[in-house]
Amino acid sequence: MRPIHAPKTREQRRYRRHLRVRKKIQGTAGRPRLVVFRSIKHIYAQLVDDDRGVTLMGVSDMSEGVVVEGSGKAARALAIGKAIAAKAKAAGITAVVFDRAGYRYHGRVRAVAEGAREGGLEF
């Protein structure tokens, strides 16, 4: 890669990492992709069927029915993982592919994954 095409901003570098991750994983109807998006204040998770190009369901920390135990962003992320797992189980989905979306598997992203596992989803 020539230096002129090198990503300049933090967001561009994350997007480049996200594309590298997406080359390897793909969600199907039977095993959708669990995508995590992390902003400074909030965290979002959604299940995506890449075969049809459809978002099956999504949850954020601002959604109704998300019960946060404790304080802090990591506690909210754990609650998001449990909430998306509950919605997926209600829809008959038990197995997913985890997409960290270019973020490190650390902190809030890891908390979403642990919450989804506690909720009964298999990765």
For residue 112, the cross-strand partners are: none
Identify the residue whose tokens are 């650390």. 106
Question: Is 10 in a helix, a strand, or coil?
Answer: helix
Identify the residue whose tokens are 């300049």. 8
**What is the rounded CA–CA span in Å between residue 80 and residue 60?**
6
Q: Per-residue pLDDT tens for 39-64?
A: 999 999 999 999 999 999 999 999 88
Domain boundaries, position 94: 3-119
Q: Which pTM was predicted?
A: 0.87
**What is the rounded CA–CA span in Å between residue 98 and residue 109?**
10
Q: Total structural domains in the chain?
A: 1
CATH label of the domain that carries residue 39: 3.30.420.100
Which residues of the chain register pLDDT less than 50?
none
